[in-house]
């Protein structure tokens, strides 16, 4: 799914590029006019006991009628997840321009939830707003990737070392399924599947600290480190993913055995090779 800088604008024609058949989809949502009609119908007076609409005695309590609920936040969340997946998979190409109306057409929703999701991605540094045209995917280089790896290491390694000293051995058992899941995901060669399992392992590990702010901050940095580089391959191949997953298993073993030197070395190597 891609569109060049000569593609559609926020108010122009749909892009020429099409979302791949296997790409993420969001079920069609009700249009605003349909929602308004449903709301009017729901609040209109109903027939009374004598067949006259809207009539009731003063002693009766009107029965409240349910209003249709539009899951705007849910739609926006689904679109945001779909766009994040497209970033990792390379469907949204660095340097390319995409319009909210055209993307909304692909997803089967209005431009509003797409625009809201894109605004969130802009806050995360994934895209930049191009006034009256849409959103351009940020072009990232190797330097930014190295900086992200350094920041992740500075934040997470000290936490891992502290957890290695304090967390009981039996608590680490909860992370074994997450580490195994990364190995299975790496075996598929799917970058999106592996990216999700990779974040889940690190999220589960850091959650043992009990610091929710740390978990959210680290995951944001991790997600940004998974975006593809401009002018390079969309991501690592199957062999590289398998090697990365093997480091999760080795890191967990070092944490269980309280091998602090091993934890420090494995974590540093892991972040340096992350992408």
Q: Which residue stretches of the chain have pLDDT < 70?
A: 1-73, 230-236, 274-275
Percentage, residues of the chain above pLDDT 90: 55
Domain boundaries along the sequence of the chain: 1-29+70-139, 142-273
CA–CA distances in Å: residue 222 to residues 96, 157, 245: 23, 14, 15
Regarding pTM above 0.75, the answer is: no
Beta strands 134-137 and 97-98 are antiparallel
What is the pLDDT, as a whole number, of residue 139? Answer: 87
The phi, psi pair for 5, rounded to 5°, reads -70, -10
**Topology match between the domains 1-29+70-139 and 142-273:** no
Architecture of domain 142-273: Up-down Bundle (1.20)
What would the pLDDT profile of 1-28 be if each residue is shown by its tens digit?
Answer: 444 444 444 444 444 334 444 445 544 4
Structure tokens at 141: 């280089």
Beta strands 127-130 and 97-98 are unpaired
What would the pLDDT profile of 240-249 be if each residue is shown by its tens digit?
Answer: 999 999 999 9
Rounded-to-integer distance, Cα 9 and Cα 97, Å: 9
What is the pLDDT, as a whole number, of residue 228? Answer: 77
Rounded-to-integer distance, Cα 223 and Cα 178, Å: 17
What is the pLDDT, as a whole number, of residue 274? Answer: 65
Rounded-to-integer distance, Cα 126 and Cα 148, Å: 14
Angle at 135 between CA 4 and CA 71, to 5 degrees: 125
What is the pLDDT, as a whole number, of residue 227? Answer: 85
Fold of the CATH domain 1-29+70-139 = Arc Repressor Mutant, subunit A (1.10.10)
């Amino acid at each position: 799914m891609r569109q060049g800088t000569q593609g559609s604008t926020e108010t122009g024609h749909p892009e020429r590029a099409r979302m791949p058949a296997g790409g993420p989809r969001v079920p069609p949502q009700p249009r605003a006019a349909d929602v308004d009609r449903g709301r009017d119908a729901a609040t209109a007076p109903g027939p009374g006991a004598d067949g006259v609409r809207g009539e009731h005695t003063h002693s009766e309590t009107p029965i409240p009628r349910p209003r249709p609920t539009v899951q705007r936040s849910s739609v926006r969340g689904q679109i945001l997840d779909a766009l994040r997946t497209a970033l990792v998979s390379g469907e949204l190409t660095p340097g390319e321009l995409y319009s909210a109306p055209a993307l909304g057409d692909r997803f089967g929703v209005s431009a509003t939830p797409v625009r809201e999701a894109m605004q969130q991605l802009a806050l995360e540094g994934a895209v930049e707003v191009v006034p009256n045209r849409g959103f351009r995917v940020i072009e990232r280089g190797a330097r930014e990737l190295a900086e992200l790896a350094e920041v992740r290491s500075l934040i997470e390694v000290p936490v891992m070392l502290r957890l290695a000293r304090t967390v009981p051995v039996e608590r680490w058992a909860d992370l074994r399924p997450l580490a195994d899941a990364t190995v299975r995901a790496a075996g598929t060669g799917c970058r999106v599947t592996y990216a999700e399992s990779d974040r889940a392992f690190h999220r589960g590990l850091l959650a043992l600290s009990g610091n929710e702010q740390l978990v959210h901050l680290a995951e944001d940095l991790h997600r940004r480190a998974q975006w593809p580089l401009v002018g390079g391959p969309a991501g690592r191949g199957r062999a590289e993913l398998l090697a990365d997953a093997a480091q999760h298993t080795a890191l967990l073993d070092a944490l269980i055995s309280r091998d602090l030197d091993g934890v420090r070395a494995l974590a540093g190597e892991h972040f340096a090779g992350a992408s």
